[in-house]
Chains A and B, each alone.
Chain A
């Protein structure tokens, strides 16, 4: 009972934060949604409209635009800066406050930080299902895509939280997280559909969990993955989640032993 109570309180706290800074929240959504979409559209426009290409990697201009618009819904869910918050807590010594409390710091930071993402997931799901109906997209598939995106959000945090433990060793650990985010931006399918990768390089994105953040959910929502393929990738996502959980146990266990509470 008590275990549930602090989790709900942390979630409520996160919701209140998102609502309190409404303008910031709105700017963030606008920026995070429309600029990457515009950049993608620019590339398709140059390839197809200016360059005159008919098909690229088996996709037409319409397919590309459809991918871009649908991926917008899932780009909103991926990521978050909670891993940066963890690293900063270690670096500045604020972690000490949490070590005295009966809550897991990694979980607490995630639950508080995921609140705005859950809010966005709800809005995006409603929007996607509503608008998708006019284009023949199934709301059920949209919901399945959102589920995969939310699992992706958990994995993203787990990877970030494990990397944040470099703060126990190195003052400039934020760089590791920045590097991770840059790589994710390319390999998640946020910038381009991953099937544009040449066949010889497809293994790169397939061997990371990042494609489950945006590319996977978009493929599900657009009906380009069958139910069996979706189930397979969901199982892969669960395996990554389990791996992430173990990784956090190991890295944080080792990190806390090193922690000297005056800044790591």
Chain B
């Protein structure tokens, strides 16, 4: 019953967003243009590097492109469902708009993070997947039933992005402006755009623990191409659980501190 209520609310949110996107059609072309150039720049960067070497820390050109496809698809999934909500999260707190959400009979976080859906970014999910399919064979991906794992790892990447972005956004309860932290998040996000095997030990440890950006695209690509050891699975679960607990704790403390419009 409760799940049905949430599903119904989400259906209405999608409908409302669809209507809004239909009005701003130019936005669709814009988003595609920017993302295509972004993808082009990342591909060009690796093309230049691979013009000077055959392998990069054991990753061939095709494997790196396969990773980029997974990363772009995962990023686009997050952009579609959550990105705008996180950008607007600071307004909810600063302007006191969270008040109204707290009075609703559903979890305020559900409403906070599901209001804005960027349907134009759906195209980029398919673009990322097209890159994955294009380079799957030459990268050594075995295919078959393992294609189902692609969906699993995309969802895992999405979950990691939500936890990470939330951990950077929640501080708005204590700070007046969230722009700097959001910007810092996107600076660190650059770590997600490279395979984790490339990183020196210290940075690699960091992107697999305290700043687990490697779980967005790199670890999923590695899992699909080479498989993961059990201890890596265990570490993944541990990090996710730790971030979930931290976020839940900060959310509760933040709500206690929240003083409506004056917060």
Residue of chain A at shortest CB distance from B179: A24
- Tell me the bound Cα distance from A178 to B27 in angstroms: 14
- The yes or no answer to B147 lying at the interface (CB within 8 A) is no
Q: Are B177 and A56 in contact (CB under 8 A)?
A: no
Query: A191 in the interface, Cβ–Cβ < 8 Å?
Result: yes
Contact status A182-B38, CB under 8 Å:
yes
Compute how far the CA of A113 lies from the CA of B200 in the bound complex, rounded to whole angstroms: 37
Chain B, residues 193-209, CB within 8 Å of chain A (1/0): the string is 11001111001000000
Q: Which of A166-184 contact B (CB under 8 A)?
A: 170-172, 174-175, 178-179, 182-183
B195 — nearest CB in chain A belongs to which residue? A46
Kindly state the separation between the CA atoms of A30 and B200 in the bound complex, as whole angstroms. Answer: 20
B49 and A179 contact, CB distance less than 8 A: no
Inter-chain CA distance A23–B175, complex, in Å, is 10
Q: Do A170 and B26 contact each other (CB < 8 Å), given the known contacts A39-B191, A46-B56, A183-B41?
A: yes
Please determine whether A35 and B188 come into contact, CB atoms closer than 8 angstroms: yes
Q: List 9 A-B contacts (CB under 8 A).
A: A39-B194, A46-B56, A56-B52, A172-B30, A178-B37, A186-B41, A186-B44, A191-B45, A196-B52
Does A186 contact B45, Cβ atoms closer than 8 Å?
A: yes
Neighbour of B194 across the interface among A24, A42, A51, A197, CB < 8 A = A42
CB neighbours (8 Å) of B105 from chain A are none
Chain B interface, number of residues (Cβ within 8 angstroms): 39
- In angstroms, Cα B45 to Cα A178, docked, is 18
Q: A27-B183, A30-B184, A196-B48 are in contact. Are A53 and B58 (CB under 8 A)?
A: no
State how many angstroms separate the Cβ of A262 from the closest Cβ of chain B: 18
Say if the beta carbon of A111 comes within 8 Å of chain B.
Answer: no
A172 to B25, CA, bound (A): 10
**Nearest CB in chain A to that of B204: its residue:** A42
Determine if A185 is an interface residue (Cβ-Cβ < 8 Å): yes
Contact across chains for A31 and B58 when beta carbons are under 8 A apart: no
Known A35-B191, A41-B200, A43-B198; judge A197-B38 contact (CB<8 A). Answer: no
Neighbour of A27 across the interface among B48, B184, B193, CB < 8 A:
B184
A31/B53 in contact, CB under 8 A: no
Q: Are A179 and B44 in contact (CB under 8 A)?
A: no
Q: Is A5 an interface residue (CB 8 A)?
A: no
Q: Which residues of A contact B57 (CB under 8 A)?
A: 46, 50-51
B27, B29, B45, B190: the one within 8 Å of A35 (CB): B190
B33 CB-CB contact with A under 8 Å = yes
- Chain A, Cβ-Cβ closest to B44: A186
Please report A residues at the B interface, Cβ cutoff 8 Å. 21, 23-24, 27-28, 30-32, 35-36, 38-39, 41-43, 45-47, 49-51, 53, 56-57, 170-172, 174-175, 178-179, 182-183, 185-186, 191-192, 196-198, 201
Asked if B103 is at the interface of the complex by the 8 Å CB criterion, the answer is: no
Chain B interface mostly helix, strand, loop or mixed? helix
The answer to whether B56 touches A51, judged by C-beta atoms less than 8 angstroms apart, is: yes
B34 adjacent to A36 (CB under 8 Å):
no
Tell me if B101 counts as interface (CB < 8 A to partner A).
no
What's the minimum C-beta distance from B172 to chain A, rounded to whole angstroms? 13
Question: Could you tell me the distance in whole angstroms from the C-beta of A123 to the nearest C-beta in chain B?
Answer: 18
A31: contacting residue among B37, B41, B184, B194, CB under 8 A: B184
A51 vs B50: C-alpha distance when bound (angstroms): 12
B180 touches A24 (CB 8 A): yes
A6–B158 CA distance with the chains assembled, in angstroms: 49
Would B53 and A53 count as touching, CB distance under 8 A?
yes
Closest Cβ of chain B: how far from A107's Cβ, in Å? 26
**In-complex Cβ contact of B177 among A24, A41, A53 (8 A):** A24
CA distance A138 to B197 in the complex (A): 37
Interface residue? B55 (CB, 8 A): yes
B236 at the interface (CB under 8 A from A): no
Interface: B148 (CB within 8 A):
no
